[in-house]
Structure 1
Amino acid sequence: MVLVEPVPKVIDPLKIRIDDNPQAGIIGAPGDAMVDLASPLNVEVPDEISSSGSESDSPEVVASSIPVDPDPPHLPPEPTLAALVRQKGNLRPASADVRFPLNSKLMPPSAKKRGGKKRGLGTPLKQAEIRNFVRTNNICCIGILETKISPNVFHAVSATLLPGWNWCFNYVHSARGRVWVGWNPTYALFVMSDCSSQAIHGHLRSITNGTSFYLSVVYAEHSFILRRPLWAELNHYSLLYPNEPWIVAGDFNAIRYASDRADRSNYWIPAFEDFGNCLIQAGLDDLRFVGNRFTWVASSGPNRKQRKIDRVVVNSAWNSTFSYSEASFLAPGVSDHSPMVVRILPTPNNRKPFKFFNFWMAHPTFFELVAQIWDSSFVGSPMYTLCCKLRALKYRLKGLNRTAYSDISTRTEEARSLLLIAQNAIQLDPLNRL
């Protein structure tokens, strides 16, 4: 939208203010544009502000197979109910002035440098990628990072992104909408307990099977100092959930070990220890994972950088409760970050295989039982008939074992007690021959 102030009688520069224009890809605070009517003007675009080498313009996903719905103070309430998606990009400075001719097309500096490509979650292509990701992986709860969606269009974008889903966000602490959490109310329920500029914390429960745990979705800042409040935040929540399953997933923008990078750099400074020390103090460790070792890639050829800055970490209570869970780091696709999918796998069937005990043959009815089964008639080929007789015999032998030999330990203790009673009675009355 373009707002034009009244023109004075004397020909002076005309002020035009550019408001947020999602269709042109402009996200963030508006800037002032000065147009001189007396002479032709050239476009002067300020360099965009880059916050980190890990900035991207495509989705990064961490998914959970399970799902707050607060009414934000500055947004009208909207009734809405294991993956993290990343939509990152750089913001134009709020104070930047842009000079352009009247017939020029409006677009942000980042779009100028990227050939007019929109950044964040505002493009139909990236929204389609997320919908396909959710459908393909059967996701019921998803986290999206660095959406680049302004609060005034949040409802419109979220409603079309995944229709019928519920959402919570951290716009209260970050006007850029750095973290979204969405869930399918048919299968899950997420209740947000707190949020900050770098994380959303809450409780997730599966409606289908009742599984529940605490979930934190994280998108850390890009400098050591700005990340330290997040480390303190995780340590605080570790004290609140000492005996409850807790999972933390997202982009930590930090490596834990020197082996978490694959490039020519090999330096290590003390500030790198902050992340590892935080995980130790909070009692968090990596969840067993499969897929990509490195989760972020930048550049190509000899200058290519690879890092493991996206992680899924859990506490000891999670490992005890969900011992068959795992995280999958998938191929990046249109993003430079690997989507993360967390699944709680079903407990394997622990049925014991059938075993034949030789002492069964000592039972008086054993051979009679076998003869009855073997004389039975079954219709089918000889191999099919043999399988049917063996299956029927197994069922009867299990019944014999339960009837005659079940709870053998208790029977042994009872027999031992009777033996001791008899032996004590003989000692008390040695002349009794009964």
Structure 2
Amino acid sequence: MNIMSLNIRGLGEKHKTDWVGRLRREYKLCLVRIQETKLGESSLLFNPTNCWGDADCNFEQVFTTGRPGGIITIWDSRMFSLVEVIKSRNFIVTLGNFVGINGLTGFVNVYGPQQEREKAKVWDELLAIKLSRSATWIFMGDCNVVRRPDERINSEFCVRSANEFNKFILNGELTDLKMGGQKFTYFKTLGGKLSKLDRFLVCSNFLSVYPLASSFAMKRDLPDHSRIVLRARSEDFGPPPFKFLNSWLVNDKLDGVIKDACSVFRGYGTPNMILLNKLKYLKLAIRN
């Protein structure tokens, strides 16, 4: 699973559309989440699939109602099948079946509002959606808020907004995935303002499926936000060689069975293979 989130500051120009397509191919992306497309309902002739490069994709979008805004979520239709979509001005929630994850998976594309009062409202809405549906959740995007004072330079830190955001993460039982690469994801030339506004938030079930998941903030290119990428892969080490049930401890014969099996067993090869085969031998002895 490779996912990219990007605040693009306008997607109506062909060179930006082509750029997103190149990123999709370069990073082998199965999902792309784009914020601040600045596309209104008058942009109906714009086809988001041009950002993908082929026909094996589906998308959902929210048009902007003003100068900023607009969100698009695009995904590989061979990897994700949509079951339910929930939209607002500030987010797109796509719930469906993703290859490799049991049950529903919820991908949330967030474009946080600027106003402090509206921020808290969005977090409450998203928390209610998460708690009302059983799914593996991945939140991503431009949250337009920081969590700590050190995530912002040359601009005012709003304690209330940070507290509301941190409360959403806590109550939603989400993990702020540690991000490599750039420390800050937004740069404003005027005044040299730096902020970490973009991030991935994942639930515990996602981490159990993808314990080696990592995220990375790339160097800025066309927009003033860094594109952030989540790479997740699951490791299959085969079935566990040995499971031990506590109820076996009440059987008086267990101790003798284990001692006898260990004294008879002879192993060959590398130490890890000897241990593996010894556990298998014990399992068979206990079963018998």
Under TM normalisation by the shorter chain, which class is it?
Answer: 0.7 to 0.9
Q: Distance in 2 between matches of 1:284 and 1:405?
A: 37
State TM-score, norm by structure 1.
0.52
Change over 3 Å in CA distance of 1:175–1:184 after alignment to 2: farther
Shift of 1:159: 4.2
Q: How does 1:25-174 map to 2 (within 5 A)?
A: 65=2, 82-88=3-9, 120-162=10-52, 163-164=54-55, 165-171=57-63, 174=65
Rounded to whole Å, the distance in 1 between the matches of 2:279 and 2:112 is 62
Aligned residue pairs, count: 261
- Relative to structure 1, is the Cα distance of residues 268 and 153 closer, same or farther in structure 2, using a 3 angstrom cutoff? closer
SS in 2 for 1:278: helix
Paired residues of 1:83 and 1:341 also in contact (CA < 8 A):
yes
CA contact (8 A) 2:6 2:226 kept: no
- The equivalent position to 1:407 in structure 2, one of 278, 281, 286, is 281
CA deviation profile, 1:378-418 (whole Å, cap 9, x unmatched): xxxxxxxxxxxxxxx859xx89x96x99533664798xxxx
> How far off its partner does 1:319 sit?
2.3
Query: In the alignment, what sits opposite 1:262?
Result: 153
Equivalent AA in structure 1 for residue 51 of structure 2: L
Single out whichever of 281-290 and 223-232 deviates more from structure 2.
281-290
Q: Displacement of 1:193 after TM fit?
A: 2.4
Closer, same or farther in 2 for the Cα pair 1:270/1:151, shift >3 Å? Answer: closer
User: Cα 1:405–1:328, aligned 2, differ >3 Å: closer, same or farther?
Assistant: closer
Segments of 5+ residues of structure 1 without an aligned counterpart are 1-63, 66-81, 89-119, 353-361, 367-392, 415-434
Give distance in 2, aligned partners of 1:408 and 1:85: 53
Q: Percent identity?
A: 19
Q: Deviations over 1:332-367 (max 9, x none)?
A: 111211111122213164799xxxxxxxxx98x99x
Within the candidate set 235, 238, 259, 1:347 is matched to 235
**TM-score, scaled to structure 2:** 0.76
Report the counterpart of residue 166 of structure 2 in structure 1.
276
* Alpha-carbon displacement from aligned partner over 1:288-316 (angstroms, at most 9, x marks no partner): 3322221101116xx31110111111122
1:77 aligns with: none
> Which deviations, in whole Å up to 9, do the C-alpha atoms of 1:229-260 show, x marking residues without a partner?
2011122023124x532111011101111111
Q: 2:175 aligns with which of 285, 305, 319?
A: 285
Q: Is the 8 A contact 1:288 1:325 kept in 2?
A: no
Find the counterpart in structure 2 of residue 198 from structure 1: 90
Q: Is the partner of 2:153 in helix, strand or coil? A: coil
Q: Which amino acid aligns with 1:407?
A: Y
- 2-structure distance, mates of 1:412, 1:139: 47
Q: For 1:201-232, what per-residue CA distance to the aligned partner results, in whole angstroms no more than 9, with x for missing partners?
A: 1224334x466521111001111012222011
Q: Given the superposition, is the C-alpha separation of residues 215 and 137 from structure 1 closer, same or farther in structure 2, using an over 3 Å criterion? A: same
Q: CA deviation at 1:278?
A: 2.0
Q: Distance in 2 between matches of 1:219 and 1:268?
A: 18
CA RMSD of aligned residues (A): 3.6
Whether 2:141 is the aligned partner of 1:253: answer: no
194 and 161 in structure 1: CA distance in 2 versus 1, 3 angstrom threshold: same
Asked whether the 8 Å contact 1:324–1:346 carries over to 2, the reply is: yes
Match of 2:243 in 1: none
- Counterpart-to-counterpart distance in 2, 1:405 and 1:271: 53
Aligned pair in 2 of structure 1 residues 410, 290: CA closer, same or farther (>3 Å)?
A: same
Alpha-carbon distance change, 262 to 236 in structure 1, aligned in 2, over 3 angstroms: same
- For 1:408 and 1:349, how far apart are their aligned partners in 2? 20
C-alpha contact (below 8 Å) 2:98/2:105 kept by paired residues: no
What one-letter code is carried by the residue in structure 1 that aligns with 2:47?
V
